[in-house]
Structure 1
Amino acid sequence: MINLELPEKLKQTQQMAQQLASGVFRPISRKYDAIEHCETPEELKPVAQMMAAMPRGGGKKGGSSESIKNGINMMGILGVEAMCWGDVGLMLSIPGSGLGNAAIMAVGTPEQKEKYGKLYCAMAITEPGAGSDSAAVATTAVAEGDEWVLNGEKIYCTAGQRCDAIVVWATLDKSLGKAAIKSFIVPRDNPGVELVRVEDKMGLRVSDTAALAFNNCRIPKDHILGSAEVGDTEEARKKSFGGVMQTFDNTRPQVAAMALGVARAALEITCDILEKEGVAADYSKQPYNSTARELEVYRLEADLEAARLMTLKAAWMADNGQPNSREASMCKAKAGRMGNDVTLKCVALCGELGYSERTLLEKLARDSKIIDIFEGTQQIQQLIVARHLLGLSSKELK
């Protein structure tokens, strides 16, 4: 028998995140969407302090080999979903919650985790000539004495302006492809790091998205994540490109959770509006006795629930030490597409109320679009799933 109920300790986490979303995020959502380019919102600084004081799980219990059941990944999913019900851009703007933090905690040394783990760390992967194909990274890292020298350009770096440090992907030898790609920790104020621009965006306006240039940027030798060994052996992959890529198996379900929160918010607002117009859900009626609007709401609710269950499964597998790369991509692809569909359909169902700024529906629709794109587009997720289903490598199926 399968028990899909959440443990009480996780329900408490969910409730706390929901209170934060409704009490802090929702009231200032429209304000910071209009301001767009600004410093870290003052309202988020106490939130960051509170989150920094919380214990960070590591997937093990009491230092033993026993895996935590429904642990840190599941907790993250529930917290992210609830906070994104309030505002996904504000959630991404909380200091200390950058994607680079996940990479450092996944493959960093104890010293790196201690020094940078609690800072606000962004991740710089995408380049003008290397988007979804991470293996095409052209930024270079050259060893000179006790230092690495980085040169290149990165774009669409979330939190690239406000962060304390950046995890930069660079190649030691372009001819070797992904076997030579490594990750480096670069302090944001390091000489040679230039903020080129901060993007104007369709959605997630409060979350800064930056273009960065690295011009003879010198960092200490010990700022590399993993091993400096270059090769295509299993051990080399774990300590370099492959090791950091596995970070996404944990973070992609969290991106899916963002879509869950945005879609749930849109559906709740839509149902409230329709109910005031006399269109309320009545699940006791047969479908053929329901109106077209009622049927559409039922379809959207079912789509949201399907994405939610897929996301919870991917997180549960990660917490229990089971390989979840396929499931992580599945839930990210499903939830990303679902979020776009639900929010846009909610705008349509509510007519001019949905399209105007009198509700948050148009903002939720704008915010949802990027969730289907960043951390691997819909097409890339489907490609990863296909490779798993067909048993083919990235070289065999491109």
Structure 2
Amino acid sequence: MLVHQANQVASEIFRPNSRKYDRAEHDYPKELDMLSALMDGMNDGGDRGAGTAGLARAAADSDGIVNGANMSTVLGLIELCWGDVGLALSLPRQGLGNAAIAAVANDEQKKALRGCWAGMAITEPGCGSDSAAIRTTAVRDGDEFVINGEKIFVTAGQRCDHVVVWASLDPKKGRAAIKSFVVSKDNPGMKVLRLEHKLGIRSSDTATIVFENCRVPRSALLGSEEIDTKQGFGGVMQTFDNTRPVVAAMAIGVARAALERTRELLEQAGLSPADYAADRWRMPAAVATFHELEAEWEAARLLTLRAAWMADNGQPNSLQASMSKAKAGRMATQVTLKCAELGGALGYSEDELLEKWARDSKILDIFEGTQQIQLLIVARRLLGKSSAELK
């Protein structure tokens, strides 16, 4: 039912408005307001929608096999991003910051922040892939923290009403001192400096935000104030174990859209992939390439479902989350670019969405940890090396 619902949204709302908001960059997609009300109603009724707000790791001692919030989010976002990645990222109250709140916040914080729309502020001008190198600080002052710093590439940074910002309690203590804070957009110490113009996902706003003596209460801190140098910053990093399969799902969705349209174009040209399934020795190059792309897509899909399933069943999935993100991100750029090529002139023109899907897919190989960082994480996990031992 969830997959069907998400597919209907994608086909009836996202696809018809996809090109409109690609051209009207930074315009708010007002068509999404109705969807947000629908998703709120589903969440209030106990049903799971296709957004990130319900993401959370199950307890390790859960009984039986569970397909829960992580699996439903992945399956739903595959469908939504089959429609449009940028619009999926623009759904109110379904930001990546909401996933952080679901993963790290305590029950009292979750109750207080219910219904908020939270962006995620991690990247800084001098800190990209190495999240441990952030320079934004949060200094304790009585019952408050004072945050100072600058964040870039904040998805939904202008439209959201809260921002989850990563800051260091003590830069001298390294990554263990990095904590996440929820800051309301009406805080006078936080300001949206500018919006970015982008290659793809243009319907999604991407902002630069500055924090100048931004005061937040101690209750804004997600997790513990304690700086545990032995644990590192595993608490805030747990967010990525939930959201990296989500980004992989986005890549699977947009790649599937490109594959389906390319199959239709090949069939119109008299090169139906199905006609050569049992006669591979005389398969045209275009059809052979298409079959290879389908195989890459299926491999990424299975890795992603595995990572989401593990999170739903309380199993550590950091390795699998990075594997799925690395594979799906690379697969999506490969598939969408090759499909645009197979489409010939149609693949390069705005008469089709193939060129747009090729542009949209690139970000999915970059944000939530670049391709290179994911491969580094995988290598560390497989070899049993720490970040200090393998850089």
TM-score, length of structure 2 as denominator length:
0.94
Letter of the aligned partner of 1:276 in structure 2? Q
Q: Report if aligned partners of 2:286, 2:342 keep a CA contact under 8 Å in 1.
A: yes
The whole-number CA distance in structure 2 between the counterparts of 1:233 and 1:68 is 32
Deviation at 1:143, TM superposition (A): 1.1
State whether structure 2 residue 31 is matched by structure 1 residue 43.
yes
Q: Is the contact made by 1:256 and 1:331 (CA closer than 8 Å) also made in structure 2?
A: yes
Query: Does residue 30 of structure 1 match 2:19?
Result: yes
Does 1:248 pair with 2:240? yes
Report what 2:368 is aligned to. 375
Mark the CA change 1:117 to 1:130 in structure 2 (over 3 Å): closer, same or farther.
Answer: farther
| Aligned partner letter, 2:234 | G
1:264 has 2:253 as partner: no
CA contact (8 A) 1:314 1:328 kept: yes
Aligned residues: 379
Q: Partners in 2 of 1:68 and 1:203 — Cα distance? A: 38
Identify which of 353, 371, 388 aligns with 1:395: 388
Could you give the per-residue CA deviations for residues 252-278 of structure 1, whole angstroms, max 9, x where no partner exists?
A: 111001010100101111111121111
The structure 2 residue matched to 1:130, chosen from 127, 130, 133, is 127
SS of 1:176's equivalent in the other structure is helix
Q: Is the 8 A contact 1:340 1:369 kept in 2?
A: yes
Is 1:303 paired with 2:303?
no
Residue 161 of structure 1 corresponds to 158
Q: How far apart in 1 are the matches of 2:252 and 2:187? A: 37
1:170-319 superposed matches below 5 A: 170-234=167-231, 237=232, 241-281=233-273, 282-319=275-312
| Matching residue's letter, 2:292 | R
Offset, 1:67: 5.7
| Alignment equivalent of 2:40, drawn from 52, 67, 80 | 52
Tell me how far 1:395 sits from its aligned partner: 1.5
Q: After TM superposition, what 4+ stretches of structure 1 lie above 4 angstroms from structure 2?
A: 56-61
1:48 corresponds to which letter in structure 2?
A: S
Counterparts of 1:36 and 1:359 in 2: how far apart (Å)?
Answer: 19
1:70 Cα shift?
Answer: 1.6
1:66 corresponds to: 63
Q: Does 1:331 align with 2:324?
A: yes
Is contact 1:152–1:214 with CA below 8 Å preserved after alignment? Answer: yes
Per-residue CA distance 1:123-175 (angstroms, 9 max, x = gap) = 10000111100011101111112211111000000011000100111111111
In the other structure, the counterpart of 2:2 is: 13
Q: Deviations over 1:171-191 (max 9, x none)?
A: 111111101111111001101
Change (3 A) 1:228 1:291: same
Distance 1:59 1:123, change over 3 A: closer
- Residue 177 of structure 1 aligns to a residue whose secondary structure is helix
Q: CA deviation at 1:322?
A: 1.0
- Equivalent residue for 1:8? none
Residue 160 of structure 1 contacts residue 166 of structure 1 at CA under 8 Å; is this kept in 2? yes
Q: Which residue of 1 aligns with 2:88?
A: 91
In the TM superposition, what is the alpha-carbon distance from 1:286 to its structure 2 partner?
2.6
Query: Matched residues in 1 for 2:300 and 2:37: separation?
Result: 32
Partner residue of 2:116? Answer: 119
Q: Does the 8 Å contact 2:70/2:242 carry over to 1?
A: yes
Structure 2: state its 5+ residue gaps.
49-53
Tell whether 2:98 aligns with 1:105: no
Pick which of 356-365 and 183-192 moved more.
Answer: 183-192
CA distance in structure 1 between the aligned counterparts of 2:288 and 2:251, rounded to whole angstroms: 22
Structure 1, unpaired ranges of 5+: 1-11
State how far apart, in whole Å, the 2-side matches of 1:383 and 1:233 are: 21
Letter in 2 for 1:49: A
Alpha-carbon separation, structure 2, partners of 1:243 and 1:348: 43
Instruction: Give the equivalent residue in structure 1 for 2:51.
Output: none
Instruction: Tell me if structure 2 keeps the 8 A contact 1:60–1:67.
Output: no
How big is the shift at 1:115? 1.6
Q: Distance in 1 between matches of 2:262 and 2:277?
A: 20
What CA distance in whole angstroms lies between the structure 2 residues aligned with 1:291 and 1:130? 47
Task: State the SS of the aligned residue for 2:267.
Answer: helix
User: What is the rounded CA distance, in whole Å, between the counterparts of 1:321 and 1:88 in structure 2?
Assistant: 28
* Native 8 Å contact 2:57 2:103 kept in 1: no
> What are the Cα deviations for residues 23-42 of structure 1, in whole angstroms up to 9, with x where unaligned?
11000000000001123x11
Q: 1:44 to 1:74 in 2, by over 3 A?
A: same
CA contact (8 A) 1:101 1:118 kept: no
User: What is the letter of the counterpart of residue 348 of structure 2?
Assistant: Y
**Partners in 1 of 2:228 and 2:270 — Cα distance?**
65
For residue 353 of structure 2, what is the amino acid of its counterpart? L
Of residues 281-290 and 160-169 in structure 1, the stretch that sits farther from structure 2 once superposed is: 281-290
